[in-house]
C-alpha cells in the first residue's frame, strides 16, 4: 500500500489521500530509519558540516514533515480516529526527540564540529546553527547523568501527552456545547448573516430555529450585539467555563492537566539546574530574567491603567445613561462597548464588515506583500485537507520561493483561534536541491452564506494580516539552514515582531480603500467612515492593554514558582493579578486558565509576555515607515525602500543572529516602548 505520508520531501502531500490508518505505520517506519541513520553518522572520526548536520537533516526531515502534517490535520479536521492515531504516535515522537537531544555521541560530534569550525571555514549562519544546537543539547538534558536523563525523558513524554489532552478537552468542551433558540425575538440585535449561519447550523442538526455555539464567528457577535442580557450571560458563562469543573459537562475538566503540567515544568527546570521554569525558558529568549519581564509589564501597567480606569468609567456612565444598565456585568462589556462605539463614532462593526469581502481582503493583503517585499501570490491546484483550504505559490522576481496553504473558516472539529504552522523549511541539501518552505495559515472566520462571499470584520482583517506576518517570516527567508530558520531559531519573544508589524497596514487608508468592496454595491469603504474608524482605533485601548498585561503577569507568576500549584492556587494567583492591574472582574465561577491554550498547549508557557515585548519592537519598526512617509510627504506608509530593508534585516535573515542585532540593523538603534504607547493612544498628550 502506498502511504501518502511517505511521499518524497520535494513533492506536495496528497492530503485527501491521508487516512488515520496511514499515520502510525508511516511514523514507525520513519522513526526506525532515523534512529538507524543517526547511529551510523555518529561513528565518523571527524565530522564535517555535510557529514553531520546535513546528514542529520537527511535522516529526520521526512519524519518531522510527517509528524507536522499529522498534528496539523488533527487540529483542522479532527475526528476520533485521527486523534487516536496521533495520540498513539505522540509518546514515540516525544521519546525520539528526547533521545536525540540526549544522545551522547551526537553531542560529542557537535562539540567536535564546533572546535573545528574555523578550520573548516564555516560561515556565520553555520556557526550560529552549531551554537544553538549545543545549547539545545544542554537544555535537552545531554549533560545529565543516566538516571536523570531517564527522568527527563519521562518528563518530556508526560508533558507532551498532557498538553495534547488539554487541547483535546478544550476542543471537545467547545464543540459539545450548543444552545438551540426557537423564538427569534431572543436573537434581537444579532446581525442577519450570523443568524443565517445559526439557522443553517440548526437545520444541519435536524432542529428548528437557530443553533448558537461557542465558535468565535457565533460567540463574538452574540456578545457584541444581542440585546437580551440573559442570552449574553448564558453564552458568556458557557465560554468562561470551557473544559472546567464549572462547565455543563465536567468530563473535559482541565484542572488536573494544569496542575500536572505545572509540576512537570518545575521538575524539568530542577533537573536542568534552574530555579524555576521561567528561568529555564528565558535561556532562549531576548529577555534576561523573570524580574526584567515583570518590571517591563509593571511599567506598561503603570502607564496604561489610568486610561483603562477612564475607559471603564466611560462605559459605566454610558450604560447607565443610554442603555438603562445600572451596573455593568462582564457579559455586558462587549455589548456596551459596541453600543457606545456606535453612538460615539456613528458606525458599528457590522456596518464595516459589509465592505470587507474575502476576495478583496486577500487581494489587498497580497498587494501589501508585493509592494513591501516584492512577494507575489498565485493560487494553484494542489490537494488540501478540506474544501475550504486553498494553496498559493509565493514568488519573488518571477521565481517561486515557497507555498502557502490558507484555511480561513470555523467549523466543527477545528481547533479555535488563528495560527501559522510549517510543513517544510527552506533547505539546500547535500545534492544541491532546493526545498522551498511550506506554511499553513489557519483562522476561524465566518464562512460564506447564501452564495455571497465571506464577510470579515475589521478585527478579522487585522488577524489575517497578523498571521500573514508569521507566514512571510517563514516563506521569504533566504536562510538555507533549517536550524537557523525563523521558526527554529528566532527567540520566542521576538517571533511576533513580523506579525504585529503587519497589523499596522490595516490602518493605512491606501490599503483599506483598495481591499474594501461592499458586498452589495461593490463601492470601497467611504473615506468618511474610515476616518470614524481611525478616530475609534484606540477606543478602550487602556482596557485592552491591561487585559493583555493581566494574562502575561499571571503566566510569569505561575511559572516563577519553585513548587507545584493546586488549581485553587492557580485561580488565586489570577485573582491577585487582577486586583493589581484589571478594571473588569469576572465572577468566581470564571475559569479562564482551563482553556488558556497558549500556556498549556501552545508553547507560550512563561512566554505570554512576548506579545507585548514584540509589540514594542513592531511599533518601533513601523515608526520607520511613518518617518519615511512623512519625509516623502506621502499619505501612505507603504514605502518600498523601507520594506526592502525590513525584508533584508528582519524577514530574510531568520535566526542567523540574535533578534536584537537584527532590529538594530534595521532601525539603527535599540527599541523603545514610546511608539507602542503612542500607537495605543496611551500618552499624556492624548489624555482627556
SS (H, E, C) 618-630: HHHHHHHHHHHHH
Q: How many Å apart are CA 426 and CA 400, to the nearest integer?
A: 12
Contact 391, 379 (CB under 8 A): yes
Dihedral, 125, 129, 130, 136 alpha carbons, nearest 10: 160
End-to-end alpha carbon distance in the chain: 70
Q: Give the residues of the chain that fall short of pLDDT 50.
A: 686-688
Distance CA 559, CA 565 (A): 10
Q: For residues 618 and 497, state if they share a domain.
A: yes
Same domain, 445 and 365: yes
Q: Is residue 353 part of a domain?
A: no
CB burial readout 302-332, b (16+ within 10 A) else e: ebbbebbebbbebbbebbeeebebeebbbbb
Q: Could you give the CA distance from residue 225 to residue 227 in angstroms, rounded to a whole number?
A: 6
Nearest to 402 by CA among 429, 378, 437: 437
Q: Are 98 and 208 in a shared domain?
A: no
> Model-level pTM?
0.94
Residues 115 and 13 in one domain: yes
Decide if 192 is inside a domain: yes
- Least Cα distance to 417 among 443, 386, 441, 439 occurs for 443
What's the Cα-to-Cα distance from 648 to each of 362, 477, 478, 645, 666, rounded to whole Å? Answer: 24, 9, 9, 5, 8
DSSP structure string for 146-192: HHHHHHHHHHHHHHHHHHHHHHHHHHHHHHH--EEE--GGGGTTS-H
Instruction: Choose among 100, 180, 188, 185: nearest CA to 137.
Output: 100
Phi-psi region of 206 (alpha: psi -120 to 50; beta: other; left: phi over 0): left
Same-domain pairing of 112 and 181: no
Cβ contact 455:409 at 8 Å: no
Domain match, 137 and 203 both: no
List of long-range contacts for 288-292, beta carbons under 8 Å, 24+ apart:
290/556, 290/560, 290/606
Domain identity same for 73 and 133: yes
Percentage of the chain exceeding pLDDT 70 = 99
Write down the pLDDT at residue 518: 98
Query: Does residue 458 belong to any structural domain of this protein?
Result: yes
| Element at 645 (helix H, strand E) | helix 640-646
Residue 65 C-beta-side C-alpha neighbours within 13 Å: 26
Closest CA to 655 of 237, 128, 140: 128
Neighbours of 206 (CB within 10 A): 6
Q: Are residues 30 and 119 both part of a single domain?
A: yes
**Which residue, 98, 96, 110, 94, is CA-closest to 35?**
96
**Residues with active-site annotation:** 467
The reply to whether 166 falls in a domain is: no
- Can you give the pLDDT at residue 428? 85
Query: What separation in angstroms does the CA of 147 have from each of 137, 150, 154, 471?
Result: 17, 5, 11, 41
Does 185 share its domain with 139? Answer: no
Cell of residue 442, nine digits: 489557519
- 10 Å CB burial of residue 178 (0-12, 13-18, 19+) is middle
357 secondary structure, DSSP code:
B
Q: In CATH, what number is assigned to the domain containing residue 670?
A: 1.10.1370.40
Judge whether 191 lies within some domain.
yes
Residue 676 lies in a domain: yes
Alpha helices in 226-285 (DSSP H): 229-240, 255-271, 277-281
Cα–Cα distance measured from residue 268 to residue 155, given in angstroms and rounded to the nearest whole number: 7
According to the model, what pLDDT value does residue 688 have? 34
- How far is 264 from 92, CA to CA, in rounded Å? 19
331 occurs within a structural domain: no
Residue whose cell numbers read 527522568: 151
The closest alpha carbon to 136, from 53, 20, 45, 238, belongs to 53
Domain end among 194, 211, 229: 229
189: domain range? 177-229
- Report CA 246 to chain centroid distance, whole Å: 27
Dihedral, CA of residue 17, residue 21, residue 25 and residue 28, to nearest 10: 110
Per-residue pLDDT at 643: 98
Q: 388 with 514, same domain?
A: yes
pLDDT at 687: 36
The structural domain count of the chain equals 3
Q: What is the per-residue burial (b if ≥16 Cβ within 10 Å, else e) of 7-24? A: beeeebbebeebebebbb
For position 31, which CATH number holds?
1.20.1050.40
Do residues 93 and 194 share a domain? no
As a whole number of angstroms, the distance between CA 133 and CA 118 comes to 17
Q: Which three cell numbers stand for residue 603?
A: 508553547
Instruction: Among 100, 127, 143, give the residue marking a domain's end.
Output: 143
Q: How many residues does the chain have?
A: 688
Q: Is residue 63 part of a domain?
A: yes
- For residues 46 and 108, membership in a common domain is answered with yes
Where do we find the cell 518545575?
A: 266
Of 122, 143, 164, which marks where a domain is finished?
143
Instruction: Annotate 499-524 with DSSP letters as a single string.
Output: HHHHHGGGG-HHHHHHH---TTT-PP
Amino acid at each position: 500500500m502506498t502511504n501518502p505520508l511517505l511521499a518524497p520531501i520535494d513533492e506536495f502531500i496528497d492530503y485527501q489521500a491521508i487516512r488515520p490508518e496511514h499515520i502510525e505505520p508511516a511514523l514507525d517506519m520513519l522513526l526506525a530509519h532515523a534512529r538507524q541513520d543517526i547511529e551510523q553518522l555518529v561513528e565518523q572520526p571527524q565530522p564535517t558540516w555535510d557529514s553531520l548536520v546535513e546528514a542529520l537533516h537527511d535522516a529526520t526531515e521526512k519524519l518531522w514533515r510527517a509528524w507536522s502534517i499529522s498534528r496539523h490535520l488533527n487540529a483542522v479536521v479532527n475526528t476520533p480516529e485521527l486523534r487516536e492515531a496521533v495520540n498513539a504516535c505522540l509518546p514515540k515522537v516525544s521519546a525520539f526527540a528526547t533521545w536525540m537531544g540526549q544522545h551522547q555521541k551526537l553531542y560529542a560530534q557537535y562539540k567536535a564540529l564546533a572546535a573545528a569550525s574555523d578550520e573548516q571555514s564555516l560561515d556565520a549562519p553555520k556557526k550560529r546553527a552549531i551554537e544553538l544546537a549545543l545549547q539545545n543539547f544542554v537544555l535537552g538534558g545531554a549533560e545529565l547523568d543516566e538516571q536523570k536523563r531517564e527522568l527527563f525523558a519521562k518528563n518530556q513524554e508526560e508533558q507532551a501527552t498532557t498538553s495534547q489532552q488539554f487541547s483535546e478537552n478544550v476542543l471537545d468542551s467547545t464543540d459539545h456545547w450548543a444552545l438551540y433558540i426557537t423564538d427569534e425575538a431572543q436573537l434581537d440585535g444579532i446581525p442577519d448573516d450570523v443568524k443565517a449561519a445559526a439557522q443553517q447550523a440548526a437545520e444541519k442538526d435536524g432542529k428548528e430555529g437557530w443553533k448558537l455555539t461557542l465558535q468565535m464567528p457565533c460567540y463574538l457577535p452574540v456578545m457584541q450585539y444581542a440585546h437580551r442580557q440573559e442570552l449574553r450571560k448564558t453564552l458568556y458563562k458557557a465560554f468562561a467555563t470551557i473544559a472546567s469543573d464549572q462547565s455543563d459537562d465536567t468530563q473535559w475538566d482541565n484542572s488536573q492537566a494544569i496542575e500536572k503540567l505545572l509540576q512537570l515544568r518545575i521538575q524539568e527546570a530542577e533537573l536542568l539546574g534552574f530555579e524555576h521554569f521561567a528561568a529555564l525558558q528565558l535561556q532562549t529568549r531576548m529577555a534576561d530574567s523573570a524580574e526584567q519581564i515583570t518590571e517591563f509589564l509593571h511599567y506598561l501597567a503603570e502607564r496604561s491603567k489610568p486610561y483603562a480606569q477612564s475607559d471603564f468609567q466611560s462605559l459605566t456612565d454610558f450604560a447607565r445613561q443610554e442603555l438603562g444598565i445600572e451596573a455593568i456585568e462582564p457579559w455586558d462589556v462587549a455589548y456596551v462597548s459596541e453600543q457606545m462605539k456606535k453612538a460615539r463614532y456613528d458606525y458599528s462593526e457590522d456596518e464595516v464588515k459589509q465592505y470587507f469581502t474575502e476576495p478583496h481582503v486577500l487581494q489587498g493583503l497580497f498587494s501589501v506583500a508585493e509592494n513591501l517585499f516584492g512577494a507575489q501570490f498565485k493560487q494553484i491546484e494542489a490537494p488540501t485537507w478540506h474544501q475550504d483550504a486553498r494553496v498559493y505559490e509565493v514568488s519573488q522576481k518571477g521565481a517561486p520561493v515557497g507555498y502557502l496553504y490558507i484555511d480561513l473558516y470555523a467549523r466543527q472539529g477545528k481547533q479555535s483561534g488563528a495560527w501559522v504552522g510549517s510543513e517544510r523549511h527552506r533547505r539546500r541539501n547535500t545534492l544541491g536541491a532546493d526545498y522551498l518552505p511550506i506554511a499553513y495559515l489557519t483562522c476561524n472566520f465566518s464562512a460564506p452564506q447564501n452564495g455571497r462571499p465571506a464577510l470579515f470584520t475589521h478585527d478579522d482583517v487585522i488577524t489575517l494580516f497578523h498571521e500573514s506576518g508569521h507566514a512571510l517570516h517563514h516563506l521569504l527567508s533566504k536562510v538555507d539552514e533549517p536550524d537557523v530558520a525563523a521558526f527554529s531559531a528566532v527567540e520566542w519573544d521576538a517571533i511576533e515582531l513580523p506579525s504585529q508589524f503587519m497589523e499596522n497596514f490595516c490602518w493605512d487608508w491606501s490599503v483599506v480603500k483598495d481591499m474594501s468592496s461592499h458586498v452589495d454595491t461593490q463601492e470601497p469603504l467611504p473615506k468618511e467612515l474610515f476616518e470614524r474608524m481611525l478616530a475609534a482605533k484606540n477606543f478602550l485601548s487602556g482596557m485592552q492593554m491591561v487585559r493583555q498585561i493581566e494574562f502575561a503577569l499571571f503566566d510569569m507568576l505561575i511559572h516563577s514558582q519553585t513548587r507545584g500549584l493546586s488549581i485553587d492556587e492557580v485561580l488565586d494567583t489570577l485573582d491577585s493579578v487582577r486586583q493589581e492591574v484589571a478594571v473588569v472582574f469576572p465572577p468566581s465561577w470564571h475559569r479562564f486558565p482551563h482553556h488558556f491554550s497558549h500556556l498549556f498547549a501552545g508553547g507560550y508557557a512563561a512566554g505570554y509576555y512576548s506579545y507585548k515585548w514584540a509589540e514594542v519592537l513592531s511599533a518601533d519598526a513601523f515608526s520607520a515607515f511613518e518617518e519615511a512617509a512623512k519625509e516623502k510627504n506621502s499619505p501612505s506608509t507603504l514605502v518600498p525602500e523601507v520594506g526592502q530593508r525590513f525584508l533584508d534585516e528582519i524577514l530574510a535573515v531568520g535566526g542567523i543572529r540574535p533578534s536584537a542585532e537584527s532590529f538594530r540593523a534595521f532601525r539603527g538603534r535599540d527599541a523603545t516602548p514610546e511608539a507602542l504607547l503612542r500607537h495605543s493612544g496611551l500618552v499624556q498628550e492624548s489624555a482627556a
